[in-house]
Amino acid sequence: MEHEVILEPSGHCLQVREDQCIVEAALEQGVAIHYGCGNGSCGDCKGRIVDGEGVQLPFMPLLLTPGERADNRAILCKLQPRSAMRIEAQVDGAAELWTGTVTTLQQLASTVMELRLRCDRPYPFRAGQYARIAVPDQPGQWRSYSMASHPSAAELVFHIRAVAGGAFSHWLFAQARVGDTLQLGPAQGEFTLQQNEERPLLLVAAGTGLAPIEAIVQERMRLPWTTPVALFFGVRRAADLYHLDDLQNLADSWPNLRLEICCSDPHFTGPGGPRRLLPSVSENGPWSQHEVYLCGSPGMIEAAVDLLLSHGIVHERIHFDSFAPSAG
């Protein structure tokens, strides 16, 4: 069964099946609705139900605050209609695209490649945001990657994990060459440093979740703030650790930064020996006064949010970027 869904304020009228979500239907019907991951992990598709009935499928907890839920806000990539609806939703104009030329490909760890791009013109973004990058030779396929670089840098830097059977990561690891070009959409995401109030920071990065955390650290270092910053970087296998020397040099030169490397590999012989990321965070609190930034797999984020709430950190001070598979 299909229902008519009107997007406000753009006025687009969609026909949406009951087994279809709003974002999917909009894209299928050529409407450039604003979205990111497409799978309930990032919150970029947040809208508001003005009228009508819908079913909200599961999405990452904390994307909607209790106040937003009471205000009928909804995650549109996980919302299916059950009647005619009117929905407030952001619809983008013709997407501006940038061309990035590959300047560096450097393997940082067994499964992580650093990709550097020089864009054809300035690429505006805030530290912690991500870009959608077109998969070469696969029209309509885009993948999300966070900038590890600060916006003031001349090149965009990405840390990209090899995913088994992954379209983009396979191209990157097997075929990409310096001089190749890639198309990028505008920067997206709300995973950026809150600057309205100085607070100590707790940064938790798993795997390539380190990318936006590095950008946020650089942003934080530019502020005249003196409160401490604790950075926990975790991986499962020692072979997946990267940037250890850079991070250690940073911690040595910036007394505000406390660095904790957590590798659960039983053979890990580095500082602290084998230990798991979230139990290490838990043991090293209290964190109740901290602003928290989490980045990594959806499972890590969900477990970390539960842990931090149990440590008395309020919902509003927990920010996260979930590296879920990017749809389409």
Ligand X SMILES: Cc1cc2nc3c(=O)[nH]c(=O)nc-3n(C[C@H](O)[C@H](O)[C@H](O)COP(=O)(O)OP(=O)(O)OC[C@H]3O[C@@H](n4cnc5c(N)ncnc54)[C@H](O)[C@@H]3O)c2cc1C
**Contact footprint for ligand FES (CB under 6 A):** 35-38, 40-45, 75, 77
By CB under 6 A, residue 108 contacts ligand X: no
Nearer to ligand X, 20 or 169 (CB): 169
In three-state secondary structure terms, 147 is coil
Contacted entry of ligand FES, ligand X, none for residue 43, CB cut-off 5 to 8 Å set by kind: ligand FES
Contacted entry of ligand FES, ligand X, none for residue 168, CB cut-off 5 to 8 Å set by kind: ligand X
In the numeric block, the tokens 């690891």 are attached to 173
CB of 94 to ligand FES, least distance (A): 20
**CA 240 to the chain's CA centroid:** 19
Nearer to ligand FES, 42 or 176 (CB): 42
How far is the first Cα of the chain from the last one, in angstroms, to the nearest whole number?
Answer: 25
Q: Which of 207, 166, 156 is nearest to 186 (CA)?
A: 156
Is 152 within 8 Å of 137 (Cβ atoms)? no
∠ at Cα 303 (237, 210), nearest 5°?
50
Nearer to ligand X, 78 or 143 (CB): 143
> What is the rounded CA–CA span in Å between residue 72 and residue 53?
11
**CA 168 to the chain's CA centroid:** 17
Q: Exposure string (b/e) for 239-275, b if CB count within 10 Å is 16 or more?
A: ebbbbeeebeebbeeeeebebbbbbbeeebeeeeeee
Residue number with the smallest Cβ distance to ligand X: 166
CB of 315 to ligand X, least distance (A): 20
* Binding positions for ligand X, 134-193, rule CB under 6 A: 143-146, 158-161, 163, 165-169, 189
CB of 177 to ligand FES, least distance (A): 32
Sole binder of ligand X in the list 27, 36, 40, 294 (CB under 6 A): 36
Q: What is the DSSP string of 189-201?
A: -S-----SS---E
Sole binder of ligand X in the list 37, 203, 235, 308 (CB under 6 A): 37
CB of 268 to ligand X, least distance (A): 21
CB of 64 to ligand FES, least distance (A): 10
Nearer to ligand X, 14 or 322 (CB): 322
> What is the rounded CA–CA span in Å between residue 47 and residue 8?
10
In the numeric block, the tokens 């990561």 are attached to 169
CB of 75 to ligand FES, least distance (A): 5
Instruction: Please give the torsion angle defined by the CA atoms of residues 80, 316, 158 and 249, in that order, rounded to the nearest 10 degrees.
Output: -160
> What is the rounded CA–CA span in Å between residue 120 and residue 276?
42
**CA 203 to the chain's CA centroid:** 14
Nearer to ligand X, 280 or 297 (CB): 297
Enumerate the β-bridge partners of residue 48: 73, 88
Contacted entry of ligand FES, ligand X, none for residue 321, CB cut-off 5 to 8 Å set by kind: ligand X
Nearer to ligand FES, 35 or 233 (CB): 35
In three-state secondary structure terms, 67 is helix
Contacted entry of ligand X, ligand FES, none for residue 77, CB cut-off 5 to 8 Å set by kind: ligand FES
CB of 134 to ligand FES, least distance (A): 17
CB of 37 to ligand X, least distance (A): 4
Binding site for ligand X (CB under 6 A): 36-37, 41-42, 130, 143-146, 158-161, 163, 165-169, 189, 208, 211, 297, 321, 323-326
